[in-house]
């Protein structure tokens, strides 16, 4: 089976708006589906994706994006107290957003690779595996 992938909201926004690197996200989703696996998205990053899309293109398009997201091979990962603590620990030690800290903590918990192009992740490359959308 291919490596387990955790999606950052940056990756999803790139996919939905066909921004630089969107093909890498599409390929990652295809790899997971072909291997009978699913990508992972935690609920915090789901919310981040929703508000970013809503700000950019409005409520109707954001709701449509969520419906499309439901059709992708993506499982929503629960946020529990240990994940919140792990994210807080990451946030306290690294210059990343709180939402990014959840993505990082999720990847650590699952021993998975994060799919992103968010430059904030450069400061945590030693903590997790990262598949960058562009070089």
Return d(Cα 109, Cα 120) in angstroms, integer: 20
What pLDDT sits at residue 50? Answer: 97
Give the chain's domain count: 1
Using alpha carbons only, give the angle 93, 9, 34 rounded to the nearest 5 degrees. Answer: 115
Domain of residue 14, CATH code: 3.40.50.1010
Q: What is the pLDDT of residues 32-91, one digit of tens each?
A: 999 999 999 999 999 999 999 999 999 999 999 999 999 999 999 999 999 999 999 999
Q: In terms of C-beta density within 10 A (0-12 exposed, 13-18 middle, 19 or more buried), how is residue 104 classed?
A: buried
The backbone torsions φ and ψ at residue 100, rounded to the nearest 5 degrees and listed phi first, read -65, -35
Domain that holds residue 71: 5-132
Give pTM, 2 decimals. Answer: 0.95
Do β-strands 39-42 and 129-132 pair in parallel, antiparallel, or remain unpaired?
unpaired
């Amino acid at each position: 089976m291919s490596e387990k992938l955790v999606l950052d909201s940056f990756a999803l926004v790139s996919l939905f708006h066909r921004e630089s690197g969107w093909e890498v996200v599409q390929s990652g989703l295809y790899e997971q589906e072909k291997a009978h696996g699913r990508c992972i998205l935690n609920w915090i990053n789901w919310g981040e994706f929703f508000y970013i899309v809503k700000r950019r293109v409005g409520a109707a398009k954001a709701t449509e994006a969520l419906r499309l997201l439901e059709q992708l091979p993506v499982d929503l990962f629960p946020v529990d107290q240990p994940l919140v603590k792990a994210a807080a620990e990451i946030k306290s030690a690294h210059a990343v957003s709180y939402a990014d800290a959840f993505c990082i903590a999720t990847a650590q918990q699952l021993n998975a690779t994060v799919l992103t192009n968010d430059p904030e992740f450069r400061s945590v490359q030693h903590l997790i595996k990262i598949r960058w959308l562009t070089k």
